[in-house]
Structure formats: C-alpha cells, structure tokens
Amino acid sequence: MAKIGILNLQGAVSEHYDLTKKAVKNLGVNVKVESVRYAEDVEVCDGIILSGGESTVIGKLICKRGIDKVIKDNNIPVFGTCAGMVLLSKKTDFNQPLLGLMDISVKRNNYGRQKDSFEQPIDILGQKFLGVFIRAPALESYDETKEDIKVLSEYDGDIVAIQQGCNIAISFHPELTEDTLIHEYFINEVLNKIN
Ligand code: GLN
C-alpha cells in the first residue's frame, strides 16, 4: 500500500493530516497517511507533505535528522506549502538549511507579517481555489531551462504554485480550507510515479 507521510516537526501538521485523509477518501484509493518524524519513517514513504510553519526551524531539524538525505536518496516526491515551499527551494533571501529539491528561488514573508494575512481566490488546476496567505513566500525566479517545471498558479503577477517533476510548492495554505483539490492532485502524482 502506498504511504504519504506528513512531516511532523513543527507547524500546521494536523490540518494537513486531516485534509490528506479526506483526499484519500474522496479518491477512493488505497493509501495510508501517517505522521512522520524521523528519517527511518520518511524513508518508507512514497510521498511527503511539508506543512507551513517556521522554515528555519523545520529545515534545521530536517538536516539534523538526516531526513534531507533519505528524501534525496529515495527520490521521494514532496508537496510543500508556505514554509514547505521555502524548504523546497534552492535559494532564499535568508541563510538557512534547505531541502533544495526544486530549481526555484523564493523570497520569504513576501506579503508582510502575520497581521497582513489575507485570503484570495486563485485559479489552479482548472478550478477556483481559496488561497490563504500567511507570511507567505513568493517565488522570485525559477530555472526556465528545466523542462520538468510547470507553473500551476499565479496571483497578482507572482507565481504562487509551481511543480517540478513530482514535487509541488505552493505559497498558500490549502490545509486551512476544506478543499482537497491540490492534495488529491499530489496523491495522484505519487501514485502515477510508483505504479
Ligand atoms: N514565513 C514563514 C517562513 O518562511 C512561513 C510562514 C508560514 O508557513 N505560514 O518560515
């Protein structure tokens, strides 16, 4: 049975867990969803979800626990939201440990502080989706020479969702909505990869 791990180090983990379970149910697929904390738990997953939170804290723990190595060695697809997008990037405007799986660079806290949080309907995967932006990063640039990169959504001139291979990075927080669209998309990408 395929397994999706929700990396449980810091941040909005339980919301992702619940929405991923709901997405699995909607799809009617045989996928186990598990909260994971250590490299040996991550290693046996077919896909990993990185929640929002503090990317510096999460990044330090990822490296300290060797989670970055098992993700890279096993080529495990990662879906990152907000801080998760920061961690998937190769470069940010901070000096911080990163997973660096995607050829993108991001600016942290692009939309201001917590009090500047906002909700905005965006277009993604052919549908409308409520983007919840909380101290969200914006994509500064991506390597346009890479053929496996696909922009999934833009808002106000900025790219807010992007995919490279099976890795997906988005600026906003789907786990704070009830909408399983993007989670279902990621699960399908993972299942297509392993089947
Ligand atoms: N600004 C945070 C960071 O870069 C992310 C905020 C969030 O995930 N809501 O770590």
Joined together, the tokens standing for residue 157 give 């001139």
Residue 17: its H or E element: helix 13-27
The pairing of strands 158-164 and 127-133 is: unpaired
The predicted pLDDT at position 88 comes to 98
Ligand 1 lined by 135 (C-beta under 6 Å)? yes
Looking at 15, 166, 175, 183, which residue is catalytic? 175
Residue ranges with strand state E in the chain:
2-7, 31-36, 47-50, 78-81, 91-92, 104-107, 118-124, 127-133, 138-142, 149-155, 158-164, 167-170
Domain count, the chain: 1
Tell me the pLDDT of the chain averaged across its residues.
97
Which residues constitute the domain of residue 30?
2-194
Q: Is 82 among the residues known to form the active site?
A: yes
- 8 Å CB contact between 123 and 151: no
Ligand 1 lined by 86 (C-beta under 6 Å)? yes
User: Confidence class of residue 162 from pLDDT cuts 50, 70 and 90?
Assistant: very high
Looking at 82, 166, 183, 184, which residue is catalytic? 82
Q: Is 173 among the residues known to form the active site?
A: yes
The predicted pLDDT at position 153 comes to 97
pLDDT surpassing 90 at residue 169? yes
CA of 137 from ligand 1 middle (Å) equals 7
Is pTM beyond 0.75 here? yes
Each residue's pLDDT tens digit, 42-60: 999 999 999 999 999 999 9
Give the CATH number, domain containing residue 153: 3.40.50.880
Ligand 1 lined by 53 (C-beta under 6 Å)? yes
The predicted pLDDT at position 61 comes to 97
Ligand 1 lined by 5 (C-beta under 6 Å)? no
> Would you call 92 exposed, middle or buried from its count of C-beta atoms within 10 A (0-12, 13-18, 19+)?
buried
Mutate to test the pocket of ligand 1, among 16, 55, 56, 98 (most ligand atoms within 8 A of CB): 55
User: Confidence class of residue 82 from pLDDT cuts 50, 70 and 90?
Assistant: very high
User: Confidence class of residue 12 from pLDDT cuts 50, 70 and 90?
Assistant: confident
Residue 62 per-residue DSSP state: H
Q: Is 43 among the residues known to form the active site?
A: no
User: Confidence class of residue 168 from pLDDT cuts 50, 70 and 90?
Assistant: very high
Mutate to test the pocket of ligand 1, among 94, 106, 135, 170 (most ligand atoms within 8 A of CB): 135
